[in-house]
Amino acid sequence: MACLTCQILQGDIIPPGGIFYRDQDFVICHTLDVNILWYMIVSPVRHIQSYDELSSKEAEKLGLHIHTLTRFLKTKIHDIQKIYICSFNEETHHLHFHVFPRYPWMLSSENIHSDGELVVIIRD
C-alpha cells in the first residue's frame, strides 16, 4: 500500500480543503489529523524518506515554497505569533515538513490538559 502522502498525491485521500498547491516537484496541503487551522504539510512529490535524498534543485524549491507559504500565512492570519517548521517523518516515511502557526490561544493555560496535551480547537 502506498504511503499516506503518496495516497494524497494519487487522489485516494483528499486533505481538508483539497490540495493547496502542487507543481511537478512539491505538494502543499492541510494536515489530515490536527485541527489547527492552516497547519500545512509540504512534501516532495517523489517518495523519498530523508532530506539528503532531495536534489539540489529540489532543496532550493523546497526552501522557496516554505518561504512563500510562511509569508502567505502571515498575511492570512492576523493574530499569528510564530510559524513553526519541522520534520519528523516518524509515522509517514515520505519526507514532509510541518508548517503551522502558533495562535495566542495555544499558550493559554485553559487550553492545556493536566497531562500537558494541547487542546486543538479551530477558533475561526
Q: Does 3 bind Zn ion (CB under 5 A)?
A: yes
Q: Are 92 and 4 in contact (CB under 8 A)?
A: yes
The one among 5, 27, 39, 44 contacting Zn ion by CB under 5 A: 5
28: which 3 cell numbers? 502543499
Q: Examine residue 47 and tell whether it contacts Zn ion (CB under 5 A).
A: yes
Residues in contact with Zn ion, shown as a per-residue x/- string from 50 to 89 under the rule CB under 5 A: ----------------------------------------
96 binds Zn ion (CB under 5 A): no
Q: Are strands 40-44 and 26-30 parallel, antiparallel or unpaired?
A: antiparallel
Collect all residues with Cβ–Cβ distance below 8 Å to 80 and sequence separation of at least 6: 73, 74, 101, 102, 103
Q: Given the complex with Zn ion, which of 1 and 86 has the nearer CB atom?
A: 1
